Chains A and B, each alone.
Chain A
């Protein structure tokens, strides 16, 4: 770790070297490790120490952006010169108003020493436990275990001066038992929260049960979706419409719908970067403190997230959702929540006369942004539910459906939630999910 003092010293040098009207300097620096396994042995094991020093220079309404991963004085001078030169050569952007002004940042504990220092031997030992449990259950394991730390800081000429250190850990596994597949994933700020044995049991149980899947006809079915699948739907919604830029450009499903019912009343989605039930961070890529934004409230389109560019354009304040870079992608929510309900997955299955149990989706992609139409495959544990029971595994199905339409037909929501990389979500039961094809395994 460089530490707060050294990191801010680098950024202040950037600001000092720049002769632009306004300058923003940000840095991401850290170490990350990832142990990857397949066929129940480690086949890839990597370590990386890297940095990204980014400079945004503003001259009038002209903007230049440059990055480097070198942190010596010469590299700092060079990256500043490049950003300033790009700004000088750029055409004016009349919509640009200002970089953000400083605001008080609420400190949150996002760093765990054990997670930062967890070494290759520790990871190998954890993977060995997972593989051993998989074998006991009759399954072969593939997956990853990763850990690392990152220091992130932002300084600008208007007085923003923000620093944060955070850790991340992730365990993900796909297990295979003959023709059956299962999946489990755990993420946390703390490596100590991950449990290789429970992940192995979860994935292997479904893999063993999933052997010899049968082919069923595509069509509309009620579905029980595990949180892995629900998280993907929520992230796709965010990508399609929770950004102020998408609204300003008229390509969001939220356009013209604010105050209107767009999903069932049992759907409430918000983003809260400070909520430690997810993976929190105190401020965004512009150094603006994170705010809670209630995106959909009881099914009603309520709000979207802003960075400084989109906020100033509407005379508003940033909600702390800049993702950095040159700003072309627009703001994005990164700690999403879907409000839990009062059911359990067992109750969802028990209440289903005929339906499909889906563990997770594979290769989802959007077909139509306004209709929130998406396609993808089911994967790693798809089962038929008949008369309130899971009766048999089924071959993976292709779906083509509207997320908002499906969120308008949610019958049950679980009280338990799962923490994913981007969202904290429950399982749901929804009516009439459109399966449009089937594959051969």
Chain B
């Protein structure tokens, strides 16, 4: 492959590019799912190609193709430079890149059990067993179980002398039970909704979640929700379970710190950010116990890697320090505008997409509480979790999320189960009201494989390490119950 990458880089240099890089990526995916006791899908996909990114006349160009041949490399290199020159024909600021040391080497995350080597029958059998147990609860109308695995092999080479090979294997699984009665549909998922939990790991990660052992509980909880009362509407303390808090971190901490978004390059799609540069180092984002890092180096993280797609080494970067906003996720181009080195957050969803600033593992550092202590310490509150829906405004301030379950907390004890729970707030007010975070024993690094951004759309694999946490004065139950509206 080195011959091809050299050929591409020589070509773009000859055509006048001041910078160029090429990524050759091969990704294999296996997806297995069961539904209502039947095998729903057994799917395998392979996808391979290359993309060339250049700066010419001070502007960006990118072209990609599925055909990895010398002739096609020449054609695509020429096209990338032509595209960059077309970009430059519109008035623009010349691209400047923060420096990076060239790197060489082959890097691979170790796994214990290769998921692609585990027999299909064994994987299906596990899913069908879990599915079968879910179905035993009469109220369940849809039982589902799924697994997903990816292997990504990538070569990155740049005109600055980098040649980096990386191999990564990712695994994940989950179950869902949907209970239906007249006019009501309720769902419970495990270990998280939308396909479960994912990690840079092998099949051992799937086994550790014990889907079969949790299937009955999940089904019964879904059935219970059918007759549960509507979540009330008021303001109280809210304790969030881990997978829900992971989404809270994702939407209200992860996206606002992407510096390309801050500079407006996502303005037309997902929006910009309230975390403008003058806030760096002095904006009180959360309470004093809130500490957040962007850690691309942590083993097992879905957002972990060795080098990003600009050849910048993976790093652990402070984002929120004792409640104060101190760092962004950056690229070489955006970091340069702040006079910094890149924090190494540029990643592309495959060979046919350009790198964008993407979350790595955005982790809320553990505190010194336990979940039980938090509940015991809460006079009037709600313990809620597992994602149903999410929505946040285009500056990442006003959010509203819905959870699968919510338990009333009265005088330090869990009470009634409520259905259709929602909560809403403004990002920095919400984090400013965080007064308790559970400790390391309850801290888990959740994997989210479908973080959307960019046009054309790209799905990034990202991680969020969190332990359950408590927030005071949260508006819950945006949708009023029938009883409340009649009062």
Which A positions have Cβ atoms within 8 angstroms of B?
32, 34-51, 62-70, 79, 82-83, 85-87, 89-95, 119-121, 123-125, 127-128, 131, 142-144, 146, 172-174, 176, 249-251, 256, 325-328, 362-370, 373, 375-377, 379, 396, 398, 400, 436-441
Measured CB to CB, the nearest residue on chain B to A94 is: B38
- CB<8 Å pairs between A and B, sample of 23: A34-B455, A36-B265, A38-B263, A42-B90, A43-B60, A44-B62, A51-B66, A67-B45, A69-B46, A86-B42, A91-B128, A93-B39, A120-B61, A142-B268, A249-B178, A250-B141, A250-B185, A251-B178, A365-B390, A396-B394, A437-B400, A440-B274, A441-B397
In the complex, number of A-B residue pairs with CB atoms less than 8 Å apart: 265
Indicate the size class of the contact surface on chain B: 35 or more
Most buried by B among A46, A50, A70, A325: A46
- A68–B39 contact, CB under 8 A? no
Q: Does B120 contact A (CB under 8 A)?
A: yes
Q: Annotate B355-392 by CB proximity to A: 1 below 8 A, 0 otherwise.
A: 00000000000000000000000000000000011111
Within 8 A of A (CB), among B152-190: 178, 180, 182-185
Task: Give, as a whole number of angstroms, the nearest-CB distance from B383 to chain A.
Answer: 19
Task: Give, as a whole number of angstroms, the nearest-CB distance from A441 to chain B.
Answer: 6
- A367–B479 contact, CB under 8 A? yes
Residues of A with C-beta under 8 A to B119: 89
- B352–A42 contact, CB under 8 A? no
Task: Give, as a whole number of angstroms, the nearest-CB distance from B205 to chain A.
Answer: 22
- A375–B66 contact, CB under 8 A? no
Residues of B with C-beta under 8 A to A69: 46-49, 66
Residues of B with C-beta under 8 A to A63: 39, 41-42
The 7 closest A-B pairs by CB, nearest first: A326-B41, A120-B86, A439-B398, A41-B92, A142-B267, A142-B268, A86-B42
Within 8 A of A (CB), among B170-224: 178, 180, 182-185
Residues of B with C-beta under 8 A to A328: 33, 35, 40-41
Residues of A with C-beta under 8 A to B8: none
A63 to B395, CA, bound (A): 45
Q: Annotate B247-268 by CB proximity to A: 1 below 8 A, 0 otherwise.
A: 0000000000000000111111
A15 to B269, CA, bound (A): 41
Measured CB to CB, the nearest residue on chain A to B475 is: A437
* B47, B66, B182, B267: the one within 8 Å of A174 (CB): B267
- A47–B49 contact, CB under 8 A? no
Residues of B with C-beta under 8 A to A67: 43-47
Q: Does B64 contact A (CB under 8 A)?
A: yes
Known A-B contacts: A174-B267, A437-B400. Give 10 more (CB < 8 A). Answer: A35-B86, A36-B268, A38-B263, A49-B66, A120-B61, A327-B41, A328-B40, A375-B478, A379-B271, A438-B398
Known: A69-B47, A326-B40. A86 touches B120 (CB 8 A): yes
Measured CB to CB, the nearest residue on chain A to B421 is: A367
Q: Does B59 contact A (CB under 8 A)?
A: yes
Measured CB to CB, the nearest residue on chain B to A256 is: B182
A440 to B426, CA, bound (A): 9
Task: Give, as a whole number of angstroms, the nearest-CB distance from B189 to chain A.
Answer: 15
Residues of A with C-beta under 8 A to B41: 63, 65, 325-328
Within 8 A of A (CB), among B2-25: none
Most buried by A among B66, B266, B353, B388: B66
- A42–B397 contact, CB under 8 A? no
Residues of A with C-beta under 8 A to B339: none
* A37, A64, A85, A362: the one within 8 Å of B393 (CB): A362
Residues of B with C-beta under 8 A to A38: 263-268
Q: Does B79 contact A (CB under 8 A)?
A: yes
Task: Give, as a whole number of angstroms, the nearest-CB distance from B227 to chain A.
Answer: 15
A376 to B422, CA, bound (A): 13
A41 to B80, CA, bound (A): 18
- A172–B392 contact, CB under 8 A? no
Residues of A with C-beta under 8 A to B284: none
- B391–A86 contact, CB under 8 A? no
* B45, B84, B91, B392: the one within 8 Å of A363 (CB): B392
Residues of A with C-beta under 8 A to B87: 35, 42-43, 45, 120, 124
- B391–A249 contact, CB under 8 A? no
- A42–B42 contact, CB under 8 A? no
Q: Does B239 contact A (CB under 8 A)?
A: no
- B46–A143 contact, CB under 8 A? no
- B455–A36 contact, CB under 8 A? yes
